[in-house]
Amino acid sequence: APPILEVDDLAVHFPVTKGGFFQRQVGAIKAVDGVSFTLRKGETLGLVGESGCGKSTTGLAVLGLSPITRGRVRFEGHDVNHLSGAETLRFRRRAQMVYQDPYGSLNPRMTVEEIVSEPLRIHNHPGGAPVRRKRVAELLDLVGLLPAMAQRYPHEFSGGQRQRIGIARAIALEPDLIVCDESVSALDVSIQAQVVNLFMDLQKQLGLTYIFIAHDLAVVRHISNRVAVMYLGRIVEIADRDDLYDDPKHPYTQALLSAIPVADPVVEASRARVKLTGEVPSVMKPPSGCRFHPRCPHAMPVCKTQDPPLRPLGAGLRSVACHLHDPAIVKGHA
């Protein structure tokens, strides 16, 4: 089967302007700057990196919710930025977002039933109020809430329950693709695991495909089939989950992973930590050559001048953007 989603050389640049009435563009924030990946139906891609690396913007662009500067996003072969009116409505139903903050994204003056049934009303779901009420009860049951809770308001729920309400709303229209943007990041660790398990159960039951965005590599580990690591608007490494966690190849992935504490205190004490030095540079003026070179413990002279492309490593299931993994360059600089 063809991939459900194909992202090809995606770039999202926001102009930076100066001046009053006569604005002139003085630069661009290159939030996303050449991102490519594909997603198979039923798969979960974890998208990780420090805040400001372009994860959320990539998620929005995938849903057609951000203007794009370059490249293409195809959903089942169709360019999401060139859909007809009817196709756009259909795409809006089939691709949904679950946000980080269930507090901010749920209207405090609406009951759970009104919140969860809102997409059904917006998309003219057939049947009147009784049909919608029955569907809301089904949806609450699916996300592990009692249908009797439908008449309550968001403030009457805990953070984890509110996120379940947000998920019920996101699956109301039977989507195929859900972008989860830091969907569990604001929750307590014990609640995070429950909500991640809910996402995984729903995936099995409903055949969902996920892009699971988080700044924390530990959060995406359990749920992802593959993981892409972003740095300053680019993917620097993408690999099957176990390959990435067991044997990270990019120095940035290695640094992010070494920052995650290990439960076993003996292992923890003996572990080599890769410390990231320096601040994250500005996306307005990304460093020359490899964007990671000012912070990289392995930087070579070539890293300051040549931008390493994301290229397949080995069998091609993993790709890495680093000169250390380019045999020609490593030989030349040995």
Work out what residue 62 binds among ligand SF4, Mg ion, none; the CB cut-off runs from 5 to 8 Å by kind. none
List 12's β-bridge partners, or say none.
32
Q: Which is nearer to ligand SF4, 184 or 229 (CB)?
A: 229
Q: Cα separations (Å) of 167 from 129, 184, 198, 314?
A: 21, 11, 9, 38
| By CB under 5 A, residue 183 contacts Mg ion | no
Work out what residue 290 binds among Mg ion, ligand SF4, none; the CB cut-off runs from 5 to 8 Å by kind. ligand SF4
Closest CA relative to residue 114, chosen from 128, 95, 133: 133
Site for Mg ion in 49-108 (CB under 5 A): 56
Q: Which is nearer to ligand SF4, 127 or 312 (CB)?
A: 312
Hey, is 87 helix, strand or coil?
Answer: helix
Closest CA relative to residue 60, chosen from 10, 19, 109, 23: 10
Give the position of tokens 């009692």.
146
Q: Cα separations (Å) of 170 from 99, 121, 136, 203, 298?
A: 10, 13, 12, 13, 43
**Closest separation between CB of residue 274 and Mg ion, Å?**
24
Could you give the CA distance from residue 326 to residue 14 in angstroms, rounded to a whole number? 32
Q: Which two tokens stand for residue 228?
A: 């892409």
Work out what residue 296 binds among ligand SF4, Mg ion, none; the CB cut-off runs from 5 to 8 Å by kind. ligand SF4
**Closest separation between CB of residue 298 and ligand SF4, Å?**
4
Binding site for ligand SF4 (CB under 6 A): 251, 290, 292-293, 296, 298-300, 303, 308, 322-324
**Closest separation between CB of residue 235 and ligand SF4, Å?**
13
Work out what residue 308 binds among Mg ion, ligand SF4, none; the CB cut-off runs from 5 to 8 Å by kind. ligand SF4
Work out what residue 56 binds among Mg ion, ligand SF4, none; the CB cut-off runs from 5 to 8 Å by kind. Mg ion
Site of interaction with Mg ion (CB under 5 A): 56
